[in-house]
Amino acid sequence: MKPVLLLSNGHGEDLSGALVAAELMQRGIPVEALPLVGHGSPYRQRGVPVLGRTRSCSTGGLGYTSLRGRLSELLEGQMGHVLGRLLLLRRRRRHYGLVVAVGDVLAVLGSWLSGLPSAVYLVAYSSHYEGRLRLPWPCGWLLNQASIKAIWSRDSLTANDLSQQLNRAVVFLGNPFLDVVSAATCESLQLPALQLELALVPGSRLPEAARNFALMLRVLALLPEEWARSQPLRLRAALVSELDGSRVAKLAGPLGWRLEASDRLVRGPLAVELGWGQFGEILASSQLVLCMAGTAAEQAVGLGKPVLQLVGQGPQFTGGFAEAQRRLLGPGVHCAPGSSGSDATLRASALLAQGLLEQQSDHKQGPALRQSLAAIGLERIGAPGGSQAMAAAIMAMLCPNQASELP
């Protein structure tokens, strides 16, 4: 059997593609990956062969970035790199039996250029943004080509909307990126919540993630001191390995924080535990997520966690990105008004964090709030199991005579 090629364009897309690839490999299907932007680390971590020479750029790849970010991409040659990746796909197309495109119009275009039977997971688009999805040209035309055998959406609303627009079946099977954190959540639910936990998720791309983390530390310093002393409050930061202890100490020192034991920042009554490679665990046990990231916020909402945004200077997590994320993910995502980084905005963010945590701990409000957030997560993200569902659908495409025997 010829391998299945996973084609993705973005860090979150690579994660979803890698999770589907891992499921396919467990079922004995050979798989390879072609990340169009970035190094495809999620694939490599799961033992999926990655084609060709990969590279990264300061924005993390083509996508929803600021004007400065798009100019940086041009200067860094990202467009030329992506074109080279697409040419590589065209040259190697005879090696594969099926292409699974994960992302947006760029991934869809790549699958079409391959000339191979394809399945498309449109994780980048949702009808929740505006009520009716307006696909960028030429995505609608591409999706109606005979080579695309299946289209999967990121939520039910989009599946219904696109099914009508394209006059063909678009199916919602779940979102694989939720699977990587759902197992940790099941484990955390077995333990009693002895204290409130606030998770800090500043993002994965440097230097932006470092700037974001500095903003978060400024917000924490504005929490009312008397309230902070009286609360059983645990603060945990989910950091990428590149944002190591020495770099954290350098950015935190001028803000009044000191590093203790290489994995703990202290300022007055506050202590932030620094965690590397612990994102799933930190997210699962939290009652509130202070977030400046894309996929991480989606995972949090999928787990029924309230999210507090903190708008940064970009190039990724800008005001425009944050506003679009709120439309996508719904009322479980909160953001204080005001300009990015201003004292007034940071103070309002601190008060909002305090209020959201108090709601979680309230014996009357808390249960109803958690039930409401769980319903929002199910509507906007879906239930866990997207990786297995997509792998089963791919198996049915590869082995149609055995489809009835698939789990």
pLDDT at 404: 40
**Tens place of pLDDT for every residue, the chain, 407 residues?**
899 999 999 888 999 999 999 999 999 999 999 999 888 899 999 999 999 787 666 555 444 544 454 445 544 556 777 888 888 898 988 999 999 999 999 999 999 999 999 999 999 999 999 999 999 999 999 999 999 999 999 999 999 999 999 999 999 999 999 999 987 665 555 444 557 999 999 998 889 999 999 999 999 999 999 998 888 899 999 999 999 999 999 999 999 999 998 999 999 999 999 999 999 999 999 999 999 999 999 999 999 999 999 999 888 899 999 999 999 999 999 999 999 999 999 999 999 999 999 999 888 889 999 999 999 999 999 999 999 999 999 999 998 765 444 33
Q: Please tell me the pTM assigned to this model.
A: 0.90
Q: Which CATH superfamily is domain 180-380 in?
A: Glycogen Phosphorylase B; (3.40.50.2000)
Largest CA distance in the chain: 67
Domain ranges of the chain: 4-174+385-405, 180-380
Identical fold between 4-174+385-405 and 180-380: yes
What pLDDT does residue 316 have? 87
CA–CA dist 51, 32 (Å, integer)? 7
pLDDT value, residue 255: 97
Q: What is the pLDDT of residue 340?
A: 92
CA pair distance 105, 138, nearest whole angstrom: 8
Query: Which tokens hold the place of 55?
Result: 């590279």
Contacts of 398 (CB under 8 A, 6+ apart): 1, 4, 29, 97, 98
The pLDDT score that the predictor gives to residue 11 is 87
pLDDT the model gives residue 401:
65
pLDDT value at residue 191: 45
Domain 4-174+385-405 falls in which CATH fold? Answer: Rossmann fold (3.40.50)
Tell which residue, 291, 16, 377, 298, has the closest CA to residue 180.
16
HSE (side-chain half, CA atoms, 13 Å) at 395: 21
